[in-house]
């Protein structure tokens, strides 16, 4: 992992550690109203691409709330990736508490093993995700080839 990436990882872990953030509220909201964490404009897009049995992948999953919301609302599987180990640990705990088939992995997006590439039907990227990557082509190289997203977002 490059120094820039390690510095970024440390910063996000520290911010999460010291943030005024109540995970119990997040868990309660996910149980009762998962779409609360989804931007209203993305819901029609998700409706068009997510089908029963889909697996949704999210890069830069942060604390997991968006992917958990999607998986809860659509009753699908998920794979989330982010640098911050403490956020991924918390997201995995929420997935277990919600009885969802979602796994979160603390890893540099650019180092996701190829074994994950064919596991996604839909890839979700939230606002600001690509700004952290100095080589956008390397980032988009990680987009799963079976994903609808690759056809729509991969740079030429």
Note the pLDDT of residue 127. Answer: 66
Least confident of 32-46, 97-111, 125-139: 125-139
Residue 136 pLDDT > 90: no
User: How far is 9 from 132, CA to CA, in rounded Å?
Assistant: 11
Contacts of 45 (CB under 8 A, 6+ apart): none
Residue 73 pLDDT > 50: yes
DSSP string across the chain? --HHHHHHHHHHHHHHHHS---HHHHHHHHHH-GGGGS-TTTHHHHHHH--TT-EEEEES-TTSHHHHHHHHHHT-EEEEEES-HHHHHHHHHHHHHTT--EEEEES-GGG--GGGGGG-SEEE--TTGGGG-S-HHHHHHTS-TTSHHHHHH---
Model pTM? 0.83
Percent of the chain with pLDDT over 90: 47
Note the pLDDT of residue 119. Answer: 83
Give the CA-trace dihedral at 11, 142, 49, 53, to 10 degrees.
Answer: -90
Looking at the structure of the chain, the number of domains it has is 1
The gap from C-alpha 130 to its chain's centroid, in whole angstroms, comes to 13
Note the pLDDT of residue 52. Answer: 93
The gap from C-alpha 57 to its chain's centroid, in whole angstroms, comes to 6
pLDDT averaged over every residue in the chain: 84
- The CATH number of the domain holding residue 136 is 3.40.50.150
Note the pLDDT of residue 150. Answer: 43
Rounded average pLDDT over 65-88 = 95
What domain range is 32 assigned to?
Answer: 3-153
Residue 64 pLDDT > 80: yes
What digits encode the pLDDT tens for the residues 82-131?
989 999 999 999 999 999 999 999 998 888 888 887 788 898 887 666 66
Is residue 127 within 8 Å of residue 105, measured between CB atoms?
no
């Amino acid at each position: 992992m490059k120094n820039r990436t390690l510095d970024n990882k440390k910063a996000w872990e520290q911010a999460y550690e010291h943030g005024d953030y109540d995970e119990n509220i997040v868990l309660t909201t996910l149980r009762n109203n998962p779409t609360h964490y989804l931007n209203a404009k993305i819901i029609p897009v998700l409706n068009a691409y997510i089908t029963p049995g889909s697996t949704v992948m999210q890069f830069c999953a942060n604390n997991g709330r968006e992917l958990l919301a999607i998986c809860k609302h659509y009753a699908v599987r998920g794979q989330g990736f982010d640098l911050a180990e403490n956020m991924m640990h918390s997201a995995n705990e929420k997935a277990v508490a919600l009885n969802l088939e979602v796994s979160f992995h603390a890893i540099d997006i650019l180092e996701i093993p190829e074994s994950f590439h064919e596991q996604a039907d839909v890839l979700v990227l939230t606002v600001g995700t690509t700004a952290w990557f100095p080589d956008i082509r390397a980032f988009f190289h990680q987009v799963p080839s079976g994903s609808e997203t690759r056809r729509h977002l991969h740079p030429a």
